Amino acid sequence: MLFVGIDERLSIKDEILLTIRRHVQNGPFRRESGGVLIGRELIEGNLVVVEHMTSPMPRDRRGRHFFDRRDASHVVFYNELNKDECIYAYIGEWHTHPERSPEPSVKDLRNWSRIRGEDFARSVQYHAIAGTYEIGFWAFGPADKQVSLMARRKWGDLGL
C-alpha cells in the first residue's frame, strides 16, 4: 500500500502487511503482537519503502492488552541488515489491538513520544496499529505530541 506521510510517500510492501495480518487478534485468547518497521529512503521520488520488519520474539512481554518489546533480537536484526552498508532506517513500531478499528492508547502515545525524543536519525516516525478489521498508520512528529492519522485501510481492501 502507498500513502502520503509528512513530506514523503510511504510504500508498505505486501509481505509486511501479510505478516502483520497473520498476527491480528481475531480470537478471544490471542495476545498482542508487535515489532519494528524498517525501510529505505530512495534517492529519487521522495519515497520510503518499508520492506523489513520484526515479529514477536521469545523475550517480549505480551498480554491481551499489551506488547512490550524487550527482546534484543529486534535490534540485532536491524543491525544485521545494516552490516555492510547503512541504508535501512527505523520507520516505527507496529502492534496489534483487540478491536476492529484501532486507535492509539494513552500508553501508545506516551511510547511514541519517548521514541520521537530518542530518534536523532529521522524527525517523523510512522507507527502501525493493526485491528481485526482495519490497519492504521500514524505519523508522530516532527514536533513532539504531533500525531496524525496518515492512512486507515480495511484488510479486505488491500488486495493481499
* Interaction mask 21-40, other proteins, x per CB under 8 A: -----------x-x-x---x
**8-state DSSP, 154:** E
Residue list 63-82, contact with other proteins (CB under 8 A)? 65-70, 72, 74-75, 78-79, 82
Active-site residue 99, yes or no? no
Contacting residue, 7, 28, 58, 120, with other proteins by CB under 8 A: 120
Taking alpha carbons only, the member of 34, 7, 23, 16 closest to residue 158 is 16
Q: Identify the residue among 86, 143, 149, 160 touching other proteins (CB under 8 A).
A: 86
Beta bridge partners of 49: 11, 40
In three-state secondary structure terms, 92 is: strand
Minimum gap (Å) between residue 71 Cβ and other proteins: 9
**Coil, strand or helix at 94:** strand
Amino acid at the residue 94: W
